[in-house]
Amino acid sequence: MKKDTLLGHAGRDPARQHGIVNPPVYHASTVTFPTVAALEAASKAPLEGTYYGRYGTPTQFAFEDAVAQLEGASHAFAVPSGMAAIAAALTGLLQAGDHVLVTDSVYFPTRKLCDGRLKGWGIETTYYDPMIGAGIADLIRANTKVVFTEAPGSLTFEVQDIPAIAAAARAAGVLVVMDNTWSAGLYCQPFDHGVDISVQAATKYIVGHSDAMLGTVAVRDAALYERLKLAATGLGFHAAPDDCYL
Domain residue extents for the chain: 73-245
Q: Are 127 and 103 in contact (CB under 8 A)?
A: yes
The residue type at 156: T
Compare 21 and 92 and report the one with higher pLDDT. 92
54 catalytic? Reply is yes
pLDDT at residue 53, as a whole number: 66
225 catalytic? Reply is no
Q: Which of 98, 179, 196, 243 is catalytic?
A: 179
Q: Range with the lowest mean pLDDT among 36-45, 51-60, 202-211, 233-242?
A: 51-60
pLDDT tens digits for 144-168?
999 999 988 888 899 999 999 999 9
Q: Are 69 and 11 in contact (CB under 8 A)?
A: yes
Round the average pLDDT of the chain to a whole number and report it: 89
In residues, how long is the chain? Answer: 246
Distance CA 21, CA 210 (A): 24
pLDDT tens digits for 48-57?
777 676 777 8
* Res. 81: pLDDT tops 80: yes
User: pLDDT band for position 58 (50/70/90)?
Assistant: confident
DSSP 8-class letter at 179:
E
- What percentage of residues in the chain have a pLDDT greater than 70? 91
pLDDT at residue 145, as a whole number: 99
pTM: 0.88
Q: Range with the lowest mean pLDDT among 15-29, 104-118, 142-156, 196-210?
A: 15-29
Arithmetic mean of pLDDT, 100-112: 96
Q: Which of 51, 107, 128, 225 is catalytic?
A: 107
Q: Which of 12, 26, 52, 54 is catalytic?
A: 54
Q: Does domain 73-245 have CATH number 3.40.50.800?
A: no
DSSP 8-class letter at 126:
E
221 catalytic? Reply is no
Q: Are 162 and 151 in contact (CB under 8 A)?
A: yes
Ramachandran class of 199: left when φ > 0, alpha when ψ lies in -120 to 50, beta otherwise: beta
pLDDT at residue 8, as a whole number: 55
141 catalytic? Reply is no
